[in-house]
Amino acid sequence: MEDLAQRFGDDAGRNCYSKMASVASWAFNRLFWNESVGCLFDKVNGGPPDASIRPNQIFAVSLHHNMLSGERAKAVVEKVREHLLTAYGLRSLSPSDPQYRGHYTGGPAERDGAYHQGTVWPWLLGPFITAYIKVNGASEAARMQGGEWLKPLEAHLSEAGLGHISEIFERDAPHRPCGCVAQAWSVAALLRAYVEDVKGVKPVARAADVTHRTQGALRKTPVTATA
């Protein structure tokens, strides 16, 4: 909202949203930062915070606007890399957690129970690569590392659903592909990370050349009915 207010020349609104963002950032860090582990709690809901190491926290770094200092952002990326990164994506839960389940087997109830308890999600590799390159200053070395992390999934295109990326993989090696053989969000997230982060090709706003004066004139132009 602060960015939108600035784009439309609303200085009062920009200042207001800036203050609100500062308060939100302070509250987020106070509630979610797990000092003893060096990453974010997974859930805070009135009771004791959930210290499970899950991939949700990577979005606090990968999104364009984040609420963490550079030091904390790097710590989150390293914690996710240490506990969750595999050749085919991020685990949904750290193997060190007692609730972790290493294999996706059994009937529907058993599989559903394991779905978020360690299962590897390839689409989450996209925001992880974004976050990694971001905290490393978009260096050439960081972008090359991001490309390396994508190579096993490139090879996976000739496995399971040919030309596609599977929905999930088993948590433990050799990471058997499971779920849907062709998952759109797996393809989309990884393609976006490859183009925007590894190759550095960012989308460009089409309306960037529209001036505030022109926008103001358009808002003031009366609308007339025509036959």
pLDDT, one tens digit per residue, over 118-133 is 789 999 999 999 999 9
Within 8 A by CB and 6+ apart from 120, the residues are: 86, 88, 89, 90, 91, 92, 168, 169, 170, 171, 175
**Structure tokens, 18:** 């800036």
User: In this predicted structure, what is the pLDDT of residue 218?
Assistant: 46
User: In this predicted structure, what is the pLDDT of residue 227?
Assistant: 41
Find out whether 2 and 21 touch, Cβ atoms under 8 Å.
yes
CA distances from 172 to 73, 93, 128, 146, 161 (A): 27, 12, 19, 22, 21
3-state secondary structure string, the chain? CHHHHHHCCCHHHHHHHHHHHHHHHHHHHHHHEECCCCEECCECCCCCCECCCCHHHHHHHHCCCCCCCHHHHHHHHHHHHHHCEECCEEECCCCCCCCCCCCCCCCHHHHHHHCCCCCEEHHHHHHHHHHHHHHCCCCHHHHHHHHHHHHHHHHHCCCCCCCCCCCEECCCCCCCEECCCCCHHHHHHHHHHHHHHHCCCCCCCHHHHCCHHHHHHHHHCCCCCCC
CATH top class, domain 41-203: mainly alpha
List pLDDT tens digits, range 180-216.
788 899 999 999 999 999 999 988 866 545 455 445 5
User: In this predicted structure, what is the pLDDT of residue 214?
Assistant: 46
pLDDT string in tens for the chain (227-residue length): 888 888 899 889 899 999 998 999 999 999 999 999 999 999 998 889 999 999 999 999 999 988 899 999 999 999 999 999 999 999 989 988 877 766 666 555 566 566 667 789 999 999 999 999 999 999 999 999 999 999 999 888 888 778 888 888 877 777 777 777 888 999 999 999 999 999 999 888 665 454 554 455 445 555 554 44
User: In this predicted structure, what is the pLDDT of residue 169?
Assistant: 85
